[in-house]
Chain A
């Protein structure tokens, strides 16, 4: 049982020093600093975020996605075949993303996450998990929706990114597919899609994470996919817990039990107790405890406190494991 995060981490805090990235972006927009000048601040904040996660005691950290404008346009802007358009609400959050629109053949062109992964790996004492927005979600939240052709083309393109991450030394790769919670039925092709995505993953351990809702009806489908770990939002998607109690689970679960969308702090003991209630069904030695989704929806101070809940609960689980 290890403690991890799902992906994003607050990139600013309330102190003046904590807002240096915000200021740098504003200065870059006014052309007062160069792209390189902005990048230096981004990397500085990325390192700080990595160290903060490690200091909280996480076993597996991320780069905090501090350079991402949003989880859609970060990829769409760098892939061939997309235009990036107007602001749209990101799920039921009060955040917005620039909506991509496929306008031509979608192809991988350049690494999209590798530089940040390397910067994080260089700053971290722990392994770093690389995170990609999945092909289904990129297609589903784009202007024309998840046609099979688009999802397939994205799987090919993101498979190249997985390959680039593996070549850069990524030992943990997570694919985020929150848009599954919007689907009426589980996308039938996804087993094939996952195969395309992961075929050049090397020895990396892989996770698929579904946040922003429950996946009870699809849990069996998720458990058929070729990922080592299935990540579940069990706060907003608390309804999944019941499905998990009757599922056949032969792999790790990332238990997203700590609510990353509400400042109210959970009781670590209660969180640990919930995880331990799955000890007879889920291989906890291959599982993770984590927030329910990326932590960027919380203020920095509270995100840090949530990490402590995760870490404390994970150690209580370890103590209580049979």
Chain B
């Protein structure tokens, strides 16, 4: 792929109705794991096909198998116990897992579905992981009692998963850390140390996604994260974050994931406003180091909205590429 203004998405896609229903039926014991898995793969295939039709550069598998980015790992890592519902904001809830014992990794969690999704396309498929700081921060810790101990134990487990993805052939792995700015003064060094532990010796290009909260407090410190691409949600606050990059230059060795689509707004962006957002980034960075993406995972939107929003994103990217003669 040309490296000028590459496109990808942040990870999750809207689950189709039939999968939502199947997941509900599965949790009440009305269908078995085999049937759920078949429908999960069907939905994954549709997500891959949608990305192909839209013309994205780096694909995701859509996270059709995940209810929640933390709960999914919480249900599968030894030492953790699935949690009950707590509210995140508004009408959004998640099952908040419990760290009940020593956290370990005993087998690949995400590799099978990644391998399946990759088998459906020649485009590269991102491995999708939740970062150790975020998993710990969004869990109840009944075991360690020290955030440092819990986060580093989690980092070792996620490192094993990253290594398994790379071994299976993943060239790109995204480690989401949306909670990384929860305690910027107290904990940012710990989060960086944890990320270093995750990527250590793993042969893949690492990306991270940081969203909402007080991003200003960890900029430019976030440039210390040992990843190739850092993705930020720009559109949600009308590109306010661009002021940070204007004040303190971006690291020339790093790529910027530019969130240009608001995932919390039903309204479909206009192509002109997405183009304007891309051009703002191009004042600061060469197009080879800018990735055009939505602000966050797309699971909050309907499949129709996802398709429409991504189509606008690609059209805007294409228009700016043409201007650049790329």
Contacts and interface: CB of A to CB of B under 8 A. Distances in A.
Interface of A: 10-14, 19, 22, 25-26, 29, 69-70, 86-89, 92, 94-97, 262-264, 296-302
Nearest to A89: B213
A25 B264 CA distance: 16
A25 B128 CA distance: 31
Interface in B117-156: 137-138, 140-142
B87 A263 contact: no
Nearest to A264: B142
Given A86-B237, A89-B213, A96 B182 contact: no
A209 B137 CA distance: 25
Contacts of B137: 94
Interface in B26-84: 83-84
A62 B138 CA distance: 26
Contacts of A13: 84-85
A97 B84 contact: no
Given A86-B237, A262-B142, A12 B87 contact: yes
A92 B179 CA distance: 9
B88 to A, nearest CB: 6
B325 interface: no
B212 A94 contact: no
A224 B32 CA distance: 63
A299 B96 CA distance: 8
B91 A94 contact: no
Nearest to A12: B85
A302 B237 CA distance: 36
Given A88-B212, A88-B213, A264-B142, A299 B86 contact: yes
Given A300-B84, A301-B84, A264 B140 contact: yes
B91 A88 contact: no
A263 B140 contact: yes
Contacts of A296: 86-87
B91 A14 contact: no
Contacts of A263: 83, 98, 140, 142
A14 B88 contact: no
Interface residues on B, range: 20 to 34
A264 B139 CA distance: 12
Contacts of A94: 88, 96, 137-138, 179, 182
Contact of A89 (B85, B142, B214): B214
Nearest to B86: A299
9 contacts: A12-B85, A13-B84, A14-B84, A94-B179, A95-B87, A263-B142, A264-B142, A300-B84, A301-B84
Contacts of B84: 13-14, 299-302
B16 to A, nearest CB: 17
A297 B213 contact: no
B90 interface: yes
B65 to A, nearest CB: 21
A103 to B, nearest CB: 16
Interface in B87-111: 87-91, 93, 96, 98
B183 interface: yes
A92 B183 contact: yes
A10 B87 contact: yes
Contacts of B138: 94
Contact of A299 (B83, B183, B212, B213): B83
A29 B140 CA distance: 31
A89 B86 contact: no
Contacts of A96: 88-89, 212-213
Nearest to B183: A92
Contacts of B98: 263
